[in-house]
Chain A
Amino acid sequence: MNPIMLFIHKTGSPPWFYQKTGYLIPWLWAIFLVLTAIGLYLGFVKAPVDYQQGTTVRIMYLHVPSAWMSMMIYGFMAIMGFIALVWRIRMLEVLVISSAPVGAAFTMIALLTGSMWGRPMWGTFWVWDARLTSELVLLFLYFGVIALYNAYDEPRKAARAASLLSIVGAFNLPIIYFSVEWWNTLHQGSSFGGDGPGIHPEMLWPLLIMATAVKFFYGANLLTRARLTLLKQDHRKRWVQDLVSEEH
């Protein structure tokens, strides 16, 4: 068997996954903390204030990476959910379920920090603008996936239903992304690429570092949650009983 196929097969084994990810998680947390410290230092100390937004631009170093993550995680869930349904790969079902609370957390942060920025800049905490509304729909989709999984007694059936909802809900992602182009919204368009206004490197670097940091947060939190889900689902299996005995 070639090394890639061997790795995929091993990853599909819950005891192997549980053991190996246990070594990886502390490193992911450490990288997240270091990158966050650097990103916040550059964003709060080195980066200048915006000539229009003033100091509220500092909110962007949390808001923008969170908003990106909210969409990226749902995209991953849809892809993993599709593969899990077609090829019946249990580990991917576990990853879909474990991703949902992390995605919901980032969506909540994106919405709340957006509100905190909107009050001084737009004069209101909330408007039923296409970008904000579609992001709120994304939060409800995350809640839906979590609720659907918890509504079933049989975990595999629950995970398959949640995977299906992840795929169906992915229709919202292009709506969120293109909402600022398709509709006349209060939310500004993208500052990256194309006709966007562009960002000064002193503001861009902390933003990119924070965007990278939250990916490590997702990795660490996803693996932690996936290990918990495996323990819950397999609590009557031999490998979990051995694990519990070892920790005596």
Chain B
Amino acid sequence: MSYTPFILASYLLGTVILSWAAFAPVLKKRTLLRQLKARQARMDKSQ
């Protein structure tokens, strides 16, 4: 029995989950800052 698929699947799953954990907050922060900038621009325009 070849164990390679099980080892590869383990490291692939680990990479996917850790990548999600690492990049999700970065992407969310980018979106939030964009929204805050847009809000600030609207407020500046209205003043």
Q: Which of A119-171 contact B (CB under 8 A)?
A: 119-120
| B contact residues, total (Cβ < 8 Å) | 25
Within 8 A of B (CB), among A169-225: 217, 220-221, 224-225
Q: How far is the CA of A112 from the CA of B22 in the complex (A)?
A: 19
Known contacts being A54-B3, A228-B28, is A102 close to B21, with CB within 8 Å? yes
The answer to whether B3 and A56 have CB atoms under 8 Å apart is yes
Chain A residues close to B by CB (< 8 Å): 54-56, 58-59, 62-63, 66, 101-102, 105, 108-109, 112-113, 116-117, 119-120, 217, 220-221, 224-225, 227-228, 231-232, 235, 240-241, 244-245, 247-248
Return 27 A-B CB contacts under 8 Å, by A number: A54-B3, A55-B3, A58-B7, A62-B10, A105-B20, A108-B17, A113-B13, A116-B6, A116-B13, A120-B3, A120-B6, A217-B22, A221-B22, A221-B25, A224-B22, A224-B26, A228-B28, A228-B29, A231-B29, A231-B33, A235-B32, A240-B36, A241-B36, A244-B37, A244-B40, A247-B33, A247-B37
Q: How far is the CA of A22 from the CA of B40 in the complex (A)?
A: 23
In the complex, the answer to whether A227 meets B11 with C-beta atoms within 8 Å is: no
A79 CB to nearest B CB, Å: 21
Contacting B36 at CB < 8 Å: which of A62, A102, A220, A235? A235
Separation in Å of the A56 CB from the closest CB of chain B?
5
User: Bound complex: CA of A109 vs CA of B18, how far in Å?
Assistant: 9
Which of B3, B14, B20, B22 touches A62 (beta carbons < 8 Å)? Answer: B14
Residues of chain B contacted by A232 (CB below 8 angstroms): 32
Q: Roughly how many angstroms separate A63 CA and B6 CA in the complex, as a whole number?
A: 12
Minimum CB distance partner of A113 in chain B: B10
Point out the residue from B1, B10, B21, B37 that lies within 8 Å of A105, measured CB to CB: B21
Task: State A56–B2 Cα separation when bound (angstroms).
Answer: 10
Complex interface: chain B residues within 8 A of A112 (CB): 10, 13-14, 17
Beyond the given pairs A217-B18, A241-B40, A248-B37, 4 more chain A to chain B contacts, judged by CB atoms under 8 angstroms and listed by A's residue number, are A101-B24, A113-B10, A224-B22, A247-B37
Q: Smallest Cβ distance from A95 to chain B, in angstroms?
A: 14
State whether A228 touches B1 (Cβ < 8 A): no
Query: Looking across the interface, which residue of chain B has its beta carbon closest to that of A105?
Result: B21
Query: How far does the alpha carbon of A47 sit from the alpha carbon of B33 in the complex, in Å?
Result: 46
Across the two chains, which residue of chain A brings its CB closest to B26?
A224
A113 touches B14 (CB 8 A): yes
* A55 and B8 alpha carbons, distance in the complex (Å): 11
Distance, CA A116 to CA B40, complexed state (A) = 50
Residues of B within 8 A of A119 (CB): 6
In the complex, are the beta carbons of B29 and A59 less than 8 A apart? no
Q: Choose among A102, A116, A221, A224 the residue that contacts B9 (Cβ–Cβ < 8 A).
A: A116
Report the separation of the CA atoms of residues A105 and B13 in the bound assembly, to the nearest whole angstrom: 11
Tell me, yes or no, whether B4 is within 8 Å of chain A by CB.
yes
